Amino acid sequence: MKKFTRPLKGRWIAGVCLGLANQLGIDVVVFRLIALLTIPVSGWIYILLWIFSDTQPVNARF
């Protein structure tokens, strides 16, 4: 299993939703809608992942 990283390209705020969508193999739009609808819970998780996850290297491909 590859390490979770936040991509630098294609992200909106911090890249957490894009990184998780890539990790799970689902469409990022679907993942962002789910995150938006569950914001009371996902908001805290989003902030924690933003703080504690690494960004993807500039030359890395996903």
Within a domain: 35: yes
- pTM of the prediction? 0.62
Domain total of the chain: 1
Rounded Cα gap, residues 54 and 13, in angstroms: 14
Rounded Cα gap, residues 40 and 57, in angstroms: 31
Within a domain: 2: no
**Where in the sequence is the domain holding 27, given as residue range(s)?**
8-54
Within a domain: 3: no
Q: What is the pLDDT of residues 3-62, one digit of tens each?
A: 777 777 777 777 888 888 888 889 989 988 988 888 887 778 878 887 887 777 666 555
Rounded Cα gap, residues 47 and 41, in angstroms: 11
Rounded Cα gap, residues 48 and 29, in angstroms: 21
